[in-house]
């Protein structure tokens, strides 16, 4: 991506994400609309926001379907949002639409973990916040966590990690870390990686700027899982890798699928491609004829036994 200033006041410019002014101010090219939590009249999904980490201020939003009786326990979807690690929030409108729909169709509780954005917070801050969010969720597995919705309504034997774009990168990261550290309390039975971002082979200037400690594509396991010796420890029974035909990141998703297929990971990996669509079309083209089949694939993956 182009980092030429284009202006005497601009030191770095990375459209369509952000540019950096001489005084250190970050100006983002895209700002998504915030969506308040509450009741969705169409699906009946209730949502509320919680604080995951008082130290960092990281929040999460929980989506709860209608519960039929106090003893009903539902699968849990743990979501990490996309945005190139530098745009958006889990509390924004596109992710509320997506998770309300997914929770309703899959009849599952969903929680989306927010994280601090780069470049104000250099990577891997987003990954560290997301891991802390997973640990916070796991603290409810004994029914004694700080959030009653999770204590009372979640089956921690059926946990799914979900992410799109940079969020898919994060979902893979936390799944691997959960396998390395043997995170107790959660049984991660499925991981859904939607249009994942795993860098590009040529120098990725924006990633280098957001993660100044990175050793580069060939040696950085965060953006090149092929060099991660812990990939085979990924904590998930099944993985679904989704790509879009017109997505510039398509081949990186294919490479991830092939790498996971060939390593010594003891699980089942599936591949799903949407023809004629671009990156994260399900977030930005709600009238697409491909949206229904795509959502059905996700729901079927979650509901498969």
* Active-site residue set: 165, 247, 279
d(C-alpha 156, C-alpha 161), whole Å: 12
The beta-strand segments (E) located in 179-302 are 188-194, 238-244, 268-274
Q: Chain centroid to CA 187: how far?
A: 18
Full DSSP string of 2-26 = ----SSTTEEEEETTTEEEETTS-E
> Which one, of 292, 304, 269, lies nearest residue 102 by Cα?
292
Strand order in 58-64's β-sheet? 46-53, 58-64, 109-113, 74-80, 154-164, 188-194, 238-244, 268-274
Name residue 274's beta-bridge partners: 244
Structure tokens at 40: 């969705």
d(C-alpha 197, C-alpha 199), whole Å: 6
Maximal CA-CA distance, the chain: 63
Compute and round to an integer the Cα radius of gyration of the chain.
19
d(C-alpha 290, C-alpha 301), whole Å: 17
Rounded to 5 degrees, what are φ and ψ at 282?
-65, -20
Q: Measure Cα distances from 287 to 242, 278, 281, 282, 290 in Å.
A: 19, 14, 10, 9, 9
C-beta of residue 101 within 8 angstroms of C-beta of residue 43: yes
């Amino acid at each position: 991506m182009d980092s030429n200033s284009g202006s005497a006041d601009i030191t770095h410019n990375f459209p369509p994400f952000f540019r950096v002014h001489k005084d250190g101010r970050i100006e983002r090219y895209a700002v998504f609309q915030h969506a308040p939590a509450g009741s969705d009249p169409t699906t009946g999904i209730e949502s509320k926001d919680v604080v995951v980490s008082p130290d960092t201020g990281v929040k999460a939003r929980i989506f709860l379907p209608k519960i039929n009786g106090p003893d009903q326990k539902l699968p849990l979807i743990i979501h990490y949002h996309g945005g190139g690690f530098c745009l958006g929030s889990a509390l924004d409108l596109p992710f509320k639409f997506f998770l309300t729909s997914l929770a309703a169709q899959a009849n599952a509780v969903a929680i989306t973990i927010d994280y601090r954005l780069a470049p104000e917070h250099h990577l891997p801050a987003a990954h560290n916040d997301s891991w802390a969010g997973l640990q916070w969720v796991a603290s409810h597995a004994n029914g004694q966590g700080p959030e009653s919705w999770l204590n009372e309504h979640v089956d921690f034997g059926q946990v799914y990690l979900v992410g799109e774009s940079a969020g898919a990168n994060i979902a893979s990261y936390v799944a691997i870390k959960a396998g390395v550290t043997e995170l107790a309390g959660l049984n991660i039975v499925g991981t859904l990686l939607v249009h994942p971002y795993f860098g590009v082979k040529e120098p990725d200037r924006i990633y280098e700027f957001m993660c100044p400690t990175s050793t580069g594509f060939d040696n950085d396991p965060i953006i090149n899982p092929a060099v991660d010796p812990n990939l085979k420890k990924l904590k998930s029974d099944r993985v679904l890798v989704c790509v879009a035909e017109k997505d510039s990141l398509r081949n990186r998703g294919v490479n991830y699928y092939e790498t996971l297929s060939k390593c010594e990971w003891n699980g089942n990996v599936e591949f799903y491609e949407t023809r004629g669509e671009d990156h994260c079309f399900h977030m930005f083209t709600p009238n697409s004829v491909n949206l229904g089949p795509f959502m059905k694939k996700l729901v079927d993956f979650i509901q498969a036994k």
